[in-house]
């Protein structure tokens, strides 16, 4: 029996790159958190401490910052593709690279009713994400692209039911035909193609906004019988609208809002005062995909960025 | 020599009260985090474990939830005043109460271009705050009110300088005439009056929006020679616009954005690529007030809510 | 083309169960965070909102608490196995269950030099983890068990080198033969067997302590040429010592400590004053396993507990 | 009416200084988070943007790191006093300085039963704190010193009661004669003297350990009728033991552990299974002091370090 090295990767996590475009008085800002991971034959580093094939994580960091200027950083998807492809194409021992990006959105402040040229406030709401995996060199190269968002906290004050569920001796939950439904949504969408040439004319910003809006609209308008149903319909609507996508994965905590018992004080509470609880929370996770979706390959294998 | 009890208070921190108004199909939501603290003669509890004068923190919690229905919860300031006054007026041993509130803002989602009736997304940006201190019973009662916000992350990509500073042997910082200035602002504004009757007709929502907008506009438009100068002008503009306020206190981390050195790679970087650093950060704190501002009394003495 | 449901699971995350044993004056405490996920045929819930096969997440919560009393909660591994097996065996539509547990350690305080019977302080250091996956019913049932720890922050002030690495045009890092090496270790160890009967006599507490100590000793005593090498040797030593384990997975941020440049102030700094930086950080991840390790099956597929 | 500048200060927060002593093979580590704030006449910076009196926060940072080598960093109290005094003595416009320090404790790992020379694990438990305020120059100079700790999570499984409390119409809490009492303690102790010469021979490490142990022992052994009583007795015991201290301030969240209702499942639960809730929590705050304690001056006025 021998002890051997299994799957491994290494990289630099959470490079906080801020890119300003100031070619005109109306500046633009792109504020991202970039994590890179390299895969390949790094057995010598593990088994013998030999770094001859190891490009330092510091070098990965330098490249992430420099590429923000050299190659530009507007939409995170093409920036990530360029960076990941560079590592695979230009660093001999690397045969796979994973780049994960979070983007923090800023919006212009208004002054006297007009958008200001160079002052921004950080918009909260969701964080936009992208995960790019490049595998193989030359003609064999494939690029897996996953777009996404996280921390989209969304709530509806009615239009949500939960009843008819399975029961056992530990079931004390009461069915309900009207409850608050709230979640902090994580959604990721996998692109069908693995050839970047297919995305040459893609409107990245429009696609992102459209996917988000599609999911929000389904969340709002579907009379929900369960969070599972809502999630499936959200993913389905996205796939129906965007042919370029093959799969949507959703992870949604059920952030419980408990109706507060005020009857002890002689106060009626018909769905008006709630306690928002922190823990525990439900967690519903589902994949929605085309029945002819191509194989996901390494698309969902995490790198350094998503703990 | 004897060992004695000094200042003390006790309360319930972080009650997560969510209040829905559903009197029409267009629901409203108010989502707050309420902390209460009571002050008075609680020596027996400390010295002898005698709870005869101690209204439990659980009771404070129940009251916070029930008042959201009984008294209503729209603007956080009057809700907090009503709650704090109740403790002082109705609980014999209590001669002072502090209520601190954070409000999390939600905005309606749009469906087919129209605002939805009952679905909301959590807006990030700032958290609105209020701190109410009620002292004394009957005619001697005074109410100190402090409005505020926190976590307003604001950034300008130009229009900020820093030079001409004092130097000593440990000074290696280079002066600059053009830098990114970014902060995560905490601001609080103290009301001049301590009599709630003076606020009977106040437009709480309008005041809050106006104070925030005033600060944002000064931040954007002032050519800044230092964060100190920017903060002072922000506070000054608020006081000039709102007679009802006597003092503004600002606390602003200087969130450093360091220009990244790309010259090592033969890449020019004229203010375009930055590293956003986490720690350490500068921290500038200042009070701006009218020269005839009334005494602040207990206005700034923290309760349970602001760690 | 049709849109279909892919992999899915649902459960209750972060149940904060605290179990006290008070059968003698010397109390025991077990403080855990339990997350459960159920897998099976829940298509009707997703496609039609039909909850007939869905045991509520609330029921999962109730069971986790009740089992802490009914079945006991001492070592987290057998508690988790019992809970996961229950869901698969006793809930008809469930054919797989994942239970993930974090345990927070407490240690007795000392009074007059002796351990106190019922007062404890929370030990920091690492959090112990376990992940149990039960699949299949009856004779086909298999139980995948993964023990682990996280947040073990460990540092050596010398005995760490990094040089001889690959370089490219973006490489500016200087090689070093003496640096601080620090990490916040996440380690997980997979058991070779999938039959709980094989663990009937296992000393769970002894195994955990032994695995941790083995890793700590290797970290301390190995002259490190790279974090990769250190991780591999840590995993290897664990496998060499414990036949019951088949694989160790390690994830280790390289928490950078930068030597501070004091030469500008005429102060020598031979490895004595460092800046501990937050972000970015290196991240090294590796699996170490026996060459005859059985298939990992669902052992590493996350449930609700590990975001 | 004019608008004027009120109290203000500025500084550098959260410098993460790590100091290694390596004069022998048995290394020592001191790992701290230092925040500095300067006070003085900085009106010109606020009113006119004139930085002529402003020593940059970057300079404060450089000094904090360099002093860790030049002056040494063993116990945090004398390091902080030296640093704060330097700013007041050597920077003309500064007439007050506040230095706040957190220290993260490390303990040696053991290898083959012996403490290792240069490998450490971060001990969790509490964080040690110090706050030093220096005011005035020359003979008028005074130094306020406050030692402390935070995040000491301590729990007793019995020996805690709560009954006989005041009730009102919102009181639904049941009295109890046996509950879990748990808190995450923040304690700070003010020194009586303001002249550092009085501390020339002080055993800083012994004092810290003794104060902590005294509080822990009272928490453990006092049959508690309320958290208020426990806190008072903890502070009193510290003052009775240490003449050098004048006042102790304690802030203690009541971390609720709710007995879980298992009767619905036919399971008895005599104080054995609890739910540890996150929010809301009680918060008890008290000062305990000598009746002849000198005036606290600026001892409790926060600087940049304690948000």
Q: Does D109 touch chain C (CB under 8 A)?
A: yes
Q: Does D51 touch chain B (CB under 8 A)?
A: yes
**H or E stretch at C69:** helix C57-70
pLDDT grade for C94, boundaries at 50, 70 and 90? very high
A200 within 8 A of A275, measured Cβ to Cβ: no
The C-alpha atoms of residue C285 and residue A61 are separated, in whole angstroms, by 17
The C-alpha atoms of residue A277 and residue B254 are separated, in whole angstroms, by 34
Which pLDDT belongs to residue D46? Answer: 97
Q: D119 — phi, psi (to 5°)?
A: -125, 135
Q: What is the DSSP letter of B221?
A: H
Q: Does D209 touch chain C (CB under 8 A)?
A: no
> How does pLDDT run across B230-286, given as a tens digit for each residue?
999 999 999 999 999 999 999 999 999 999 999 999 999 999 999 999 999 999 999
Strands (E), D234-292: 245-254, 257-259, 273-276, 281-290
> How does pLDDT run across C31-88, given as a tens digit for each residue?
999 999 999 999 999 999 999 999 999 999 999 999 999 999 999 999 999 999 999 9
Tokens of D49: 């943007």
Q: What is the DSSP letter of A160?
A: B
The DSSP bridge partners found for residue D21 are D28
**Å from D20 to nearest chain C CA?**
5
Percent of chain C with pLDDT over 70: 99
- Contact partners of A by the rule of 3+ C-beta pairs under 8 A? B, C, D
B17 within 8 A of B61, measured Cβ to Cβ: no
- A307 pLDDT more than 50: no
Ramachandran sector of residue C113 (left: φ over 0; alpha: ψ -120 to 50; beta: rest): left
D46 assigned to active site: no
pLDDT grade for B100, boundaries at 50, 70 and 90? very high
Which pLDDT belongs to residue D204? Answer: 98
Q: CA nearest D85: which of D70, D95, D72?
A: D95
Q: Decide: residue D96, CB within 10 A, 0-12 exposed, 13-18 middle, 19+ buried.
A: buried
Q: Does D184 touch chain B (CB under 8 A)?
A: no
User: In terms of pTM, does the model score above 0.95?
Assistant: yes
Q: CA nearest A305: which of A93, A36, A117, A115?
A: A36
Tokens of A284: 């519903």
Which pLDDT belongs to residue A181? Answer: 98
A-chain residues within 8 Å CB-CB of B220?
A: 109, 111, 116, 118-119
Geometric angle at alpha carbon B274, from B269 and B275, rounded to 5°: 140
List the single best residue of A173, A258, A264 to mutate versus D (max D Cβ within 10 A): A264
Q: If contacts are CB pairs under 8 Å, which of residues 60-99 in chain B contact chain D?
A: 61-63, 66, 90-91, 93
List the single best residue of A173, A279, A280 to mutate versus D (max D Cβ within 10 A): A279
> How does pLDDT run across B110-155, given as a tens digit for each residue?
999 999 999 999 997 899 999 999 999 999 999 999 999 999 999 9
Which pLDDT belongs to residue B255? Answer: 97
Q: Decide: residue A105, CB within 10 A, 0-12 exposed, 13-18 middle, 19+ buried.
A: middle
Tokens of B75: 């603007």
Strands (E), chain B: 3-21, 28-40, 94-104, 106-111, 114-122, 127-135, 142-156, 181-191, 245-254, 257-259, 273-276, 281-290
Question: Mind telling me the catalytic residues of B?
Answer: 12, 57, 256
Q: What is the DSSP letter of B140?
A: G
pLDDT grade for B303, boundaries at 50, 70 and 90? confident
**Å from D34 to nearest chain B CA?**
9
The C-alpha atoms of residue A65 and residue B10 are separated, in whole angstroms, by 50
Q: Does C301 touch chain A (CB under 8 A)?
A: no
Helix, strand, coil percent content, chain D, rounded in steps of 5? 25, 40, 35
**Å from D117 to nearest chain B CA?**
30
Tell if the CB–CB gap between B281 and D13 is shorter than 8 Å: yes
Q: CA nearest C132: which of C53, C35, C210?
A: C35
Rg of chain C on CA atoms, in Å: 23
Side-chain-side CA neighbours of D136 within 13 Å: the count stands at 11
Report the pLDDT averaged over residues C177-184.
97
- C305 pLDDT more than 80: no
**Maximum Cα–Cα distance for chain C, whole Å?**
76
Q: If contacts are CB pairs under 8 Å, which of residues 210-269 in chain C contact chain A?
A: 224-226, 228-229, 231-232, 235-236, 239-240, 247, 249, 253-254
Tell if the CB–CB gap between A125 and B120 is shorter than 8 Å: no
Instruction: Compute the CA torsion angle C215, C219, C220, C226 (nearest 10 deg).
Output: 170
The C-alpha atoms of residue D146 and residue B234 are separated, in whole angstroms, by 34
Beta-carbon contacts of B44 under 8 Å, excluding residues fewer than 6 positions away, are B50, B52, B53
D-chain residues within 8 Å CB-CB of A261?
A: none
pLDDT grade for C307, boundaries at 50, 70 and 90? very low
B-chain residues within 8 Å CB-CB of A217?
A: 109, 111-112
Tokens 């019992």 correspond to: C82
- Contact partners of C by the rule of 3+ C-beta pairs under 8 A? A, B, D
CB count, 10 Å around CB of D131? 27
D71 assigned to active site: no
C-chain residues within 8 Å CB-CB of B278?
A: 278-279
Cα dist from A198 to A210, D6, D228, whole Å: 19, 61, 68
Q: Does A155 touch chain B (CB under 8 A)?
A: yes
Beta-carbon contacts of C96 under 8 Å, excluding residues fewer than 6 positions away, are C9, C38, C39, C40, C88, C133, C134, C135, C136, C298
Q: Quick check: ipTM above 0.85? A: yes
B-chain residues within 8 Å CB-CB of A261?
A: none
Domains of chain D, first to last: 7-138 (3.10.270.10), 141-307 (3.10.270.10)
**Å from B115 to nearest chain D CA?**
33
Report the pLDDT averaged over residues A42-59.
97
- CB contacts < 8 A, B to D, total 265
Which pLDDT belongs to residue A125? Answer: 84
Tell if the CB–CB gap between D217 and C109 is shorter than 8 Å: yes
- B226 pLDDT more than 90: yes
- Contact partners of D by the rule of 3+ C-beta pairs under 8 A? A, B, C
Q: Does A59 touch chain B (CB under 8 A)?
A: no
Low-confidence ranges of chain D (pLDDT < 70): 305-307
Q: A127 — phi, psi (to 5°)?
A: -105, 130
Q: Does B154 touch chain A (CB under 8 A)?
A: yes
Start-to-end Cα distance in chain A: 33
Which pLDDT belongs to residue B307? Answer: 45
> How does pLDDT run across D245-257, given as a tens digit for each residue?
999 999 999 999 9
B-chain residues within 8 Å CB-CB of D292?
A: 1
The C-alpha atoms of residue D42 and residue D37 are separated, in whole angstroms, by 13
D91 within 8 A of D83, measured Cβ to Cβ: no
CB count, 10 Å around CB of B264? 12
The C-alpha atoms of residue B77 and residue B82 are separated, in whole angstroms, by 9
Tokens 């499984």 correspond to: D157
Tell if the CB–CB gap between B57 and D239 is shorter than 8 Å: no
Which pLDDT belongs to residue D304? Answer: 78
User: Cis peptide before C280, with omega less than 30 degrees from 0?
Assistant: yes
Tokens of B218: 């000064």
Which pLDDT belongs to residue D265? Answer: 98
Q: CA nearest A95: which of A39, A45, A55?
A: A39
Among the options D30, D46, D57, D137, which is catalytic?
Answer: D57
Going by the annotation, the residues of the binding site of C for O2 are 57, 254
Tell if the CB–CB gap between B169 and C279 is shorter than 8 Å: no
């Amino acid at each position: 029996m021998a002890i051997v090295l299994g799957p491994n990767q290494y990289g630099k996590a959470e490079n906080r790159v801020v890119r300003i475009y100031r070619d005109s008085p109306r500046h633009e800002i792109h504020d991202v958190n970039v994590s890179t991971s390299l895969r390949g034959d790094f057995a010598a580093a593990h088994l013998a401490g030999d770094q001859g094939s190891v490009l330092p994580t510091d070098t990965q960091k330098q490249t992430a910052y420099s590429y923000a200027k050299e190659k530009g950083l507007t939409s995170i998807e093409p920036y990530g593709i360029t960076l990941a492809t560079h590592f695979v194409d230009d660093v001999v021992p690397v045969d796979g690279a994973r780049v994960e990006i979070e983007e923090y959105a800023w919006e212009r402040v208004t002054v006297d009713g007009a958008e200001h040229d160079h002052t921004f406030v950080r918009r909260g709401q969701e964080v936009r994400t992208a995960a790019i995996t490049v595998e193989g060199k030359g003609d064999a190269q494939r690029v897996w692209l996953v777009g996404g968002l996280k921390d989209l906290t969304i709530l509806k004050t009615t239009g949500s039911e939960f009843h008819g569920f399975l029961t056992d001796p530990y079931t004390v939950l009461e069915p309900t035909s009207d409850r608050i439904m709230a979640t902090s949504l994580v959604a990721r969408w996998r692109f069908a193609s693995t050839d970047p040439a297919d995305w040459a004319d893609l409107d990245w910003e429009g696609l992102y906004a459209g996917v988000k809006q599609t999911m929000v609209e389904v969340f709002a308008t579907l009379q929900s019988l369960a969070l599972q149903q809502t999630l499936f319909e959200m993913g389905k609507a996205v796939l129906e609208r965007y042919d370029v996508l093959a799969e949507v994965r959703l992870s949604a905590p059920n952030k419980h809002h408990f109706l507060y018992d005020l009857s002890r004080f002689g106060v009626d509470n018909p769905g008006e005062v709630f306690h928002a609880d922190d823990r525990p929370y439900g967690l519903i996770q589902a994949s929605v995909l085309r029945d002819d979706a191509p194989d996901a390959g390494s698309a969902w294998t995490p790198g350094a960025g998503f703990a």
